[in-house]
Structures are given as C-alpha cells and as structure tokens.
Homo-oligomer: A and B are copies of this chain.
Amino acid sequence: MAKELKDLTKRADNYSQWYNDLVVKADLAEQSAVRGCMVIKPYGYAIWEKMQQTLDRMFKATDVQNAYFPLLIPKSYLCREAEHVEGFAKECAVVTHYRLKNDPNGNGVVVDPDARLEEELIVRPTSETIIWSTYKNWIHSYRDLPILCNQWCNVMRWEMRTRMFLRTAEFLWQEGHCAHATAEESEARTVQMINIYADFAEKYMAMPVIKGVKSANERFAGAVNTYTIEAMMQDGKALQSGTSHNLGQNFAKAFDVTFVNKDNKPEYVWANSWGVSTRLMGALIMTHSDDNGLVLPPHLAPIQVVIVPIYKNSEQLAEISKAVEPILLQLREMGISVKYDDAENRRPGFKFADYELKGIPVRLAIGARDLENGTVELMRRDTLEKSVHALEGIAGYVRDLLEEIQENIFQKALKLRESMTRTVETYDEFKVEIEKGGFILAHWDGTPETEELIKNETKATIRCIPLDGDTTPGVCMVTGRPSARRVLFARNY
C-alpha cells in the first residue's frame, strides 16, 4: 500500500481534513505562494478540461459563441449598477500603478509613484459591467439580437477564508452573457441554461441536483431573478453548483443599451448571465469520493481504464503486452481512454493504490497465470469489487461496465440525498434536524426578515425555492404566516 494512501484522513474522523488531504494527495491542486490562490496540477486540470469541453459543446449546440473581454475593469463601471456594486465591488484586487522601478536603496524593485493610474482598474470579479459597456456598440436594432456570448476565463474575488476549488481568490469559470429583444426570450434562455447545467451535473458529474430559484437575499447582485442548481455533499451540506441570472433591463439601463424594436421604438435590451466554475471540481470530489481516495464518474475521468501487467521478467512482460495490445486497440476504437502502465520503477501494489487514490473507474490486472487461463482481473473503483473475466470480449464488457458505474454512483448519491432530506413542520423540529445535516423542506413566509432570523439562529440558508416537487401551500414554521410552498433549507459551502 502506498504511503500517501495510508495518510489520507477518514471522512468520519474529519470530513474537512479528508477533503483537503484528498485534493493534495490525488494531485489535483495545491496552495500557491499567493494568498488564497491555488495551483491546479495536471491531473486536476485534465478533469477540468473534460468538464470544459463537455459544457462548451453543450453551449455551442444552443448557438452560444465564445469571445474574450478584458481582465481589468475601470472602477467607475462597477458603480453604474447600484445593487451590483454593493454585491461585488468591495473585496477585489485593485490595480493602481503600471510600473515598477529599481529601488533607489538597492533592494530589488519598488512601485514607481509616478506611474499611478488616473482611474484604478479592478481585476474582474465578474464581467457584466465591461461586457454591457461593450454591447452598447454592438446593438442598435432588433436585428442585432440575440447576442449569445460566453467566455472561459479567470476571475478574482478577495475572499477572506478560502478552500481549494470551493472558494479561492482566483478561480476559473465560464460566464455567459446574453442580450435579447424581449423579456420572454431572455427568461427562456435563463431557464435553458440552468437546465443545461442540471443535465451536465447529472449526466456527466453523476451528481443529482435540485433546480430552483434563489430568494431575494441570495440573489445575484443586479439580477431580477437567480436560478440555481444545488447539490448535497456527503457531509449533508449544500453546494451551489451553477447559477443563471435573469438581469431584466438592469444592466442595459445602467449602460444605456437600447435597440429599435420591431415597432420602430427604442427599448432597453433584456439580459441574462450564467456561470459555473472550478468549484464544480470541489463538488465532484465531495459527491463521490471515499476513504480510499477519489471516485471519478467515467464520463469525466481523464483515464477511464488502466491496465497493469504483473510479471516476473521481461519475457512475461512481452507476452502480457502482446495479449494486451488488441484490448487497448479495441477500447480506443470505442472512444475509451485507456492507459497501459508497464512502468518498471513502481511495483503493482503501488500502482493499484495510486490508481485507487486517483479514482480511475476500472482497473485491469493481467499476470502470467491469467495469460494461461485466458483471463483478466478487474476492479471497479466505485464498489472496490474484484472479479475475474475472460480476456475474450473484455473490451465490450468494460464499455458497458463504465456506463453501469456512471449510473451506480449517480444512484448512490441520489439515495444519500433522499435519505438526508426531511420535511419539518415546526421551527423547534427544524432546529433539531438542521444539526443532523442534510436538506430540510419547510414552509417560509417569503420575507427576507424571517430568512435572516433563521440564518442567524441556525446557520441554515434557503438554498432555493425548488422548481419541482410538492407545491402545497402551508404556514411559515417561524411566523405562522401563509407560505406558498415548501422551500429548501440547508447549511452550505
């Protein structure tokens, strides 16, 4: 057993430490020398790339185009949309100078006081302001609409407490920014994108999510309405995994973006924005992984299958390699990513432990005796079950098994969520249940004040007003006032 593996903290002992250990030991990321910023290591980045490629394809299938807008935003732009600045402008990286010079005292370099910017520039925390100031020049008539742009980029928010992938000062994300001629079209796109995020989460990440609408308190700064997908981590906490904002005409008004509509009348443009980030990496890790390491869904695993030869000498290795060759070919022809690890400087036991830690969905091991018997030993990472199979037809078996694993880990996560989701009637009951973790469906009177009170007393927030599920009205568990339907409460990341 590899040393690293033994050092992995158990979830039951310290969930938070388990997560931090796993991120580092599975070679996903590490803290950098810059406060709150991480280095995404090649293995972690390879998973992110698979997420990117999949999402990018899904976006483009709905006519979204990629573009790129500047990293730095003039300070004054942030103030144009009143609510937006309250929500975003405060904790951010501010560029004030554009030059360094040699220290007159000979100690390296210092900021050149003569190179002060007239107006400070902000490292983008999100790009609505710079994009809508640009759209002003792109949009004149309804014929210029819709504009469906997305950008993959880095953003910065000067968070006080950071955790790798979940909350970092710099993170990678995509942000879509659409401009429409009608409120209806913009609302439809907002919903379309949250549906794409939910599909991606469930079909690729194998992570069940609850789609819903944010309460006013939790809404994006500057939005009319925020849609969200909320996932439950194994410790019962909620993780907001993607959001899609209907911005109404707020940014169009702030940046004076009008168009001549079909009736030849000027009108403000309707907007939405939507994004997911490297936070999804944190969600992926915490949804499926176990005390042995990462568990990756086959649809996002950079390596889906690893084959390890077990041999005593080079003749045995040569024979095994010859037998493996056609299997590698067949798997690759099926579009399956497979690695044949015949490296001589690591023992099979070390390799097994390492691939377990890294969450490779299927491992095949072939020794000299297997060769004689025409068999192969298979281990599936999700259940850690081992089984012996005929070499003949193994590629087809593996292909089907990958789909089975994908479905199995989704179902496992879904069952956990269902077992940890309760309905409560009274606030006393709520206070008891929230301590146990998980999701709670309860009635709420719809006011920010009641929401705030619950948050202060229990640390639970309204994750969303679900789009699906029970819509029976009732009375608020705190105030007894009418409630339109149960909403979803949880403590959250």
Residues on A facing B (Cβ under 8 Å): 30, 32-34, 37-42, 45-46, 49, 65-79, 85, 89-101, 108-109, 111, 120-123, 130, 133-134, 137, 143, 149, 153-154, 156, 158, 170, 172, 345
In angstroms, Cα B156 to Cα A65, docked, is 25
Q: Closest residue to A75 on the B side, CB-wise?
A: B109
Which residues of B have CB within 8 Å of A70?
A: 32-34, 37-39, 170
Q: Are B109 and A71 in contact (CB-based, < 8 A)?
A: no
Q: B345 contacts A143, CB within 8 Å?
A: yes
| Complex contacts, A40 vs chain B, CB 8 Å | 67-68
Min CB gap A345→B, angstroms: 7
Query: With the chains together, A447 CA to B73 CA distance in Å?
Result: 45
B108 near A79 (CB under 8 angstroms)?
yes
Q: Are A89 and B75 in contact (CB under 8 A)?
A: no
Q: Which residues from B are CB-within-8-Å of A46? A: 65-66
A97 touches B94 (CB 8 A): yes
The answer to whether A37 and B71 touch (CB under 8 A), given A123-B123, A154-B153, is yes
Tell me which of B32, B33, B94, B99 contacts A111 (CB under 8 A).
Answer: B94
Greatest chain B CB density within 10 A among A37, A77, A95 is at A95
CB distance from A278 to the nearest CB of B (A): 9
Closest partner residue, chain B, to A122 (CB atom): B100
Given contacts A45-B66, A108-B79, contact A39 B134 (CB under 8 A): yes
Which B residues touch A153, using CB under 8 A? 154
A33 near B93: Cβ-Cβ < 8 Å: no
Task: Check B96–A97 contact: CB distance below 8 A.
Answer: yes
Residues in B neighbouring A94, C-beta threshold 8 A: 95-100, 111
Residue of B nearest to A53 (CB): B53
- For A42, what are the chain B residues with a Cβ–Cβ distance below 8 Å? 65-67, 149
Nearest residue (CB) in B for A66 is: B45
Q: Give Cα distance in the complex from A323 to B186, angstroms.
A: 36
User: B97 and A32: CB pair below 8 A?
Assistant: no
B99 A69 Cβ-Cβ under 8 A: no
Q: A42-B66, A75-B111, A85-B108 are in contact. List 4 more A-B contacts (CB 8 A).
A: A34-B70, A39-B69, A72-B170, A96-B96
Residue pair A33, B130 in contact (C-beta under 8 Å): yes
Contact between chains at B74 and A33 (CB < 8 Å): yes
Which B-chain residue is minimally distant from A64 (CB atoms)? B42
Query: Considering only CB atoms, which chain B residue lies closest to A120 in the complex?
Result: B111
A275 CB to closest chain B CB, in angstroms? 17
| B99–A90 CB distance below 8 A | yes
Give min CB distance, A154 to chain B, whole Å: 6
Q: Chain B residues near A39 (CB, 8 Å)?
A: 67-70, 134
Contacts of A99 in B (CB 8 A): 90-92, 94, 158
Cα A366 to Cα B78 in complex, Å, equals: 51
A68 contacts which chain B residues (CB < 8 A)?
39-40, 45, 172
Question: For residue A170, which residues in chain B have a CB less than 8 angstroms away from its CB?
Answer: 70-72
> Which residue of chain B has its CB nearest to the CB of A158?
B98
Q: Chain B residues near A37: list those with CB within 8 A.
A: 70-72
